[in-house]
Structure 1
């Protein structure tokens, strides 16, 4: 179903990395894949790759999630090979070292991992944003978060779709997902000559739903740590770390 790789990138010289490097890393990864796969990804409405780049304790970490069997079978072996990646514009060569691999085989395993959680802490590591009615939105709401996750889920997990043709399903889930804490700040993501507005920071969400709606919302919150939230997650935006908490 999905596999997440966490790769440390070691530069061949001192450099000032930026989250926007993720877009070029993604392009370099696709160049290593068969041309037919690259063409397929560009044609897909929902990308089967979510990835982002950030620094932690002085280390440059690239987190890549492959969503679906096809992406796993094509790109997984390339990430395992750990070939150096050159960024010509910045004149730096990055040596990848694979640090972690996390695999979820099917929706049942994702639901099992999510069971029994009431609070979800989301740490938004790279600028996240949403688009609604043609306009960028930089203030997250439960509905915007869940809407983006359902869209990604249905695009990448077709064997277990979430029915929401009229939007009422997302509305029902959002009504029971309450933001209890947040610490956010605005952040611009520079992509292909455009400055895209977004935000980074932390959110703590409480799931007050019951029954299957509660289980599904917990699973979607867990899914956010793999798929990211908002727009352009394949290009480095909306990178999220999610953890479960029993209480505030």
Structure 2
């Protein structure tokens, strides 16, 4: 069952700490440490070692404006997107047993754990509309990285529709084979989607300490079906379900360290 968990944080003591500009890898380390400390050593190791698609997504430290937490932030939190049915309960139990977390050089106490959303894959699909246009707000940089067999490793900054939806389609079918999206959705993704509008800027994101940050796109982007006559209601509903799924899965690469945190627009 896809779920979204928000971990609200407060200063552990004294003056609120000032987080560094890049906290994605540190949040990943803190999340896995919380699982280990709660007795979920095997789960923590499995989440670290498993090959993509991984069954979770994270955000860096964010504030009340969905921006990177900094000295002026009134609230600090990070979020966890759960993609696999079996993961929600142990993650919630582990977080409930977590008192303090250290993220980079900052010490926080867990103020509250909020289950902000949870929907089964069948419910996501049943609630999908036969829409033809969608808008995403991208809160943390999104990027797509070339594979080793594609030559020198490069970063593709623009969230092309076929990359975004194909990645969501792959994750959906990996974690929900019993309600797998079919050929009608796949064909629309690869042959009938285009960008309708965008307001994007470029931002930097740290993947690993000691390595220069990569670049990615932040802002809003709208996608639409280029020719609705060459689609089916099933295919359009599949796309709408994937947009809703993106709130849990994020988009693009490196979502487990906070890239591609996405907020779909409400209808």
TM-score by length of 2: 0.80
The residue that corresponds to 2:247 in the other structure is: 225
Aligned 8 A contact 1:8 1:98 in 2: yes
Give unmatched runs, 5+ long, in structure 2.
66-72
Task: Choose 26-35 or 210-219, whichever is displaced more.
Answer: 26-35
* Displacement of 1:66: 1.1
Q: More displaced, 208-217 or 121-130?
A: 208-217
**1:201 and 2:219 correspond:** yes
Residue of structure 1 aligned with 2:63, choices 52, 55, 62: 55
Name the count of aligned residue pairs.
240
Find the aligned partners of 2:21 and 2:9 in 1 and give their Cα distance: 13
Alignment of 1:177-196 (within 5 A): 177-192=193-208, 193-194=210-211, 195-196=213-214
Pairing partner for 1:172 from 176, 179, 188: 188
Deviation of 1:2 after TM superposition, in Å, equals 1.3
- Relative distance call for 1:61 and 1:19 in structure 2 (3 A) is farther
Comparing 204-213 with 179-188, greater Cα deviation is found at 204-213
Structure number with higher strand proportion: 1
Aligned to 1:97: 112
Please state if 1:71 is matched with 2:90: no
User: What's the counterpart of residue 131 of structure 1?
Assistant: 145
Could you state the TM-score of these two structures normalised by the residue count of structure 1? 0.85
* Equivalence map 1:86-125=2 (5 Å): 86-87=102-103, 89-105=104-120, 107-125=121-139
Deviation at 1:82, TM superposition (A): 5.1
CA distance in 1 between counterparts of 2:92 and 2:118 reads: 11
Match of 1:147 in 2: 166
RMSD: 2.4
Q: Aligned to 2:46, which of 35, 40, 44? A: 40
Which runs of structure 1 show a deviation greater than 6 angstroms over 4 or more consecutive aligned residues? none
Q: What's the CA shift for 1:174?
A: 4.0
Report the Cα offset of residue 8 of structure 1: 2.1
Runs of 5+ unmatched residues, structure 1: none
Contact 2:143–2:260 at 8 Å: present in 1 too? yes
